[in-house]
A = this chain, B = another copy of it.
Amino acid sequence: MRSPQSLRNGETPSPHPRIPTPHFRSTVSEQKLKRFNSLILIFRVAAFCFSLASAIFMLTNNRGSASPRWYDFDAFRYVLATNAMVAIYSIVEMAASVWEISRNATMLPEIVQVWFDFGHDQVFAYLLLSADSAGTALARTFKDGDKCTVNNAFCVQTDIAIALGFGGFLFLGFSSLLSGFRVACFIIKGSRFHL
């Protein structure tokens, strides 16, 4: 909580500030921070939508007893588990983002929040890419065999689920860049504000 702005949490805004210049500067930087946080929120929402859709597509990929089942393959279980985790994590992060935009303060103490966000973003982004790549490699082996000529719908739905997972990775990667920037701000300036 070393940020000068965060010290003002809970204060009522004064209509007649005694020192106009710092107040003006702080309003400008708060607006910029709000825009920065809104951008993160947009990426979080996009990552949530993609990873949830991917998890649902993989989970509902059951086409009768003659068709292969997703849970018989490690890589597809990996895809489903990772996308579901990212969807849940995105909900938490969306809540934290909305909280921060509406109250100008982080949900957890600032140092915990910036490291929590960045650490989880990095780990989940790498995990999601790894799962989707493994899923792609397995899906390709199906095309080389005759599984996809017999069960084309299964293969198509698997491909869609994996493609949606890559979309989720893309937006999680963008979030990770922004949260990494906040960590660097915190290390250099002792505050997540870079202005």
Interface residues in chain A, defined as those with a beta carbon under 8 Å from any beta carbon in chain B: 74-75, 126, 129-138, 140-141, 173, 177, 180-181, 184-185, 187-189, 194
Contacts and interface: CB of A to CB of B under 8 A. Distances in A.
A122 to B, nearest CB: 8
The interface centre, meaning the residue of A129, A130, A132 with most chain B CB atoms within 10 A of its CB, is A130
The number of times this chain is found in the oligomer is: 2
19 contacts: A74-B137, A75-B137, A75-B140, A126-B173, A129-B129, A129-B130, A129-B133, A130-B130, A130-B132, A133-B133, A134-B134, A136-B137, A137-B137, A141-B141, A180-B180, A184-B185, A185-B188, A187-B194, A188-B194
Contacts of A187: 181, 194
A8 to B, nearest CB: 22
A173 B131 CA distance: 17
A169 to B, nearest CB: 9
